[in-house]
């Protein structure tokens, strides 16, 4: 979390959860998570099934798996402490450039730019006069420019990064920017240019009918079966994975994929499915 009194590990957990999920949905899960598993060693020692159930529907259950792997990696470090350096952070499972920079800055007040999609959009609009950042991930140019804007003091950097992230999330909205409420309106190149629309709109992912939806249905059944203390038969798993009007091969692909990803385990004899121990 980006607040006082939160441990570096708590910050890391919060930022991992926030990777694809809005803060309001993350907050209650994070509170309970940190109560149950305050430190990396606690999470590393927990049954993976409990971790996946606590993760609930935050999205992409493989991220919960990696977070537990990350906990083990951190617990194995000297003092069991979260590293402060970008390179050491990025070497941890599930930690990429975004989370590494967020932890480095928010937990350790390192002078690092935190470039999430909201910040990239704010900079693209105010400085480049473009509606969106170039669609790919931030490159050298973007990062060095963002760094050149940072305050000198590390603590001020944390405030700066949080401010830009919030501005992008709440005011400089992707679809409906509230320029009338924007503190940067008078200096914004995009607003000055009349808010020109980008040639290519970023295309969202399809959801209905995808393998991801089928996998999500199976995960929901696995969680329910686990809390009821029963296994899930393969037939029931396939049934859960069968979407209306879908390719018949999709269900088995979804179930087998979950097993391959370590999100489900299959009994070698009965083929019953369960969450990993």
Give the residue with the Cβ less far from DNA, 68 or 99: 99
CB of 33 to DNA, least distance (A): 16
Instruction: Choose among 269, 267, 243: nearest CA to 254.
Output: 243
DSSP three-state, residue 198: coil
Residue 239, CB-side half-sphere exposure with 13 Å CA sphere: 7
CB of 239 to DNA, least distance (A): 16
Give the residue with the Cβ less far from DNA, 256 or 267: 256
Whether 166 is catalytic: no
By the 8 A CB rule, do 82 and 74 touch? yes
Cα 14 to the chain's mean position, in Å?
A: 9
| Footprint of DNA (CB under 7 A) | 19-22, 25, 57-62, 66, 90, 93-100, 116-118, 136-137, 169, 174-176, 201-205, 207, 210-213, 215-217, 219-220, 257, 263
CB of 143 to DNA, least distance (A): 12
Give the residue with the Cβ less far from DNA, 44 or 100: 100
Which residue among 4, 15, 131, 180 is the active-site one? 15
Dist. CA 98–CA 87, nearest whole Å: 12
By the 8 A CB rule, do 132 and 199 touch? no
DSSP three-state, residue 144: helix
Identify the residue whose tokens are 């999920």. 21
By the 8 A CB rule, do 265 and 275 touch? yes
Give the residue with the Cβ less far from DNA, 77 or 201: 201
Identify the residue whose tokens are 């899960």. 29
CB of 253 to DNA, least distance (A): 8
Active site residues: 15
């Amino acid at each position: 979390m980006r607040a006082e009194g939160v441990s570096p590990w708590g910050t890391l957990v919060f930022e991992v959860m926030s990777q694809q999920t809005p803060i309001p949905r993350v907050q209650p899960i994070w509170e309970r998570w940190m109560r149950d598993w305050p430190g990396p060693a606690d999470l590393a020692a927990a049954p993976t099934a409990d971790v996946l159930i606590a993760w609930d529907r935050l999205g992409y259950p493989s991220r919960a798996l990696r977070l537990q792997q990350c906990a083990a990696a951190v617990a194995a470090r000297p003092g069991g402490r979260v590293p402060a350096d970008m390179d050491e952070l990025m070497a941890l499972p599930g930690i990429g450039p975004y989370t590494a920079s967020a932890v480095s800055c928010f937990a350790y007040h390192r002078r690092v730019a935190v470039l999430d999609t909201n910040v990239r959009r704010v900079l693209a609009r105010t400085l480049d006069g473009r509606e969106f950042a170039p669609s790919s991930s931030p490159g050298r140019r973007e990062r060095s420019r963002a760094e050149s804007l940072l305050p000198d003091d590390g603590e001020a950097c944390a405030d700066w990064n949080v401010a830009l992230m919030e501005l992008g999330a709440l005011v400089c909205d992707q679809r409906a920017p509230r320029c009338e409420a924007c503190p940067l309106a008078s200096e914004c190149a995009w607003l000055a240019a009349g808010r020109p629309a980008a040639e290519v709109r970023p295309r969202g992912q399809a959801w209905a009918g995808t393998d991801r939806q089928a996998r999500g249905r199976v995960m929901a059944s696995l969680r329910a079966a686990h809390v009821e203390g029963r296994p899930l038969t393969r037939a029931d798993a396939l049934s859960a994975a069968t979407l209306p009007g879908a390719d018949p091969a999709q269900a088995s692909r979804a179930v087998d994929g979950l097993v391959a990803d370590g999100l489900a385990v299959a009994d070698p004899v009965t083929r019953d499915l369960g969450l990993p121990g």
